[in-house]
């Protein structure tokens, strides 16, 4: 019964993000199976962090393909979309999470629910939040509509955002926990 309730909560979160993005983020695309991976991965790793805390772990870092949740203080590197072997910034997390949606690792895997076509408007977007469930869902939902998703993500409660736009400036919210200036030398 707990699994059904947890699945309902995830789908409810997906539905809220679909409505908030005008349908750009959608786990139910025509002609495709239900695909809640954008939320399920973050939630699964967050549950792992909760299990570690319950077992007494206070300092840990779980990384699931670049989406990270920490126990205690950590510094986490964020890759540059145009040069994945280099860092764009370093994020300071303490008992928090960071999720990046980008095209450099898995190609055009995030689809715009309004068109069914790959989302290509942003090279990369990183969201920090208190949980990986929230950070991962917001990062993916904000990536789907392209640049229009950046202000939407920045307006989410308890989320901080850093984005790489097509013309390469890196807009970020004032509370984004970048170490130093937030820029890492090329």
Query: pLDDT tens, 30-83?
Result: 777 777 777 788 889 999 999 999 999 999 999 998 899 999 999 999 988 888
Q: Encoding tokens for residue 55?
A: 């077992």
At residue 106, does pLDDT exceed 90? no
CB 132 within 8 A of CB 68: yes
Determine how many CB atoms are found less than 10 A away from the CB of residue 65. Answer: 11
pTM confidence score: 0.85
Q: Answer whether residue 3 shows pLDDT above 60.
A: no
Q: How far is CA 130 from the centre of its chain?
A: 12
Q: Could you tell me the two tokens for 7?
A: 């699945």
Question: What average pLDDT does the segment 101-112 reach?
Answer: 81
Looking at residue 32, its pLDDT comes to 76
**Lowest mean per-residue pLDDT among 21-35, 68-82, 103-117, 122-136:** 21-35
- Identify the band that residue 84 occupies on the pLDDT scale cut at 50, 70 and 90: confident
């Amino acid at each position: 019964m707990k699994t059904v309730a947890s699945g309902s909560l995830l789908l409810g979160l997906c539905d809220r993000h679909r409505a908030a993005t005008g349908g750009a983020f959608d786990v139910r695309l025509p002609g495709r199976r239900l695909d809640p991976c954008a939320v399920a991965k973050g939630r699964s790793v967050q549950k792992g962090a909760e299990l570690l805390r319950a077992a007494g772990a206070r300092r840990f870092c779980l990384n699931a393909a670049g989406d990270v949740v920490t126990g205690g203080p950590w510094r986490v590197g964020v890759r540059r979309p145009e040069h994945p072997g280099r860092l764009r910034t370093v994020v300071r997390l303490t008992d928090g999470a960071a999720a990046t949606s980008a095209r450099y690792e898995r190609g055009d895997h995030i689809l715009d629910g309004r068109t069914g076509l790959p989302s290509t408007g942003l090279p990369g977007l990183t969201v920090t939040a208190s949980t990986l469930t929230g950070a991962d869902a917001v990062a993916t939902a904000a990536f789907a509509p392209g640049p229009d998703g950046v202000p939407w993500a920045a307006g989410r409660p308890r989320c901080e955002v850093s984005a790489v736009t097509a013309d390469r400036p890196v807009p970020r919210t004032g509370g984004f926990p970048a170490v130093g200036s937030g820029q890492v030398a090329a």
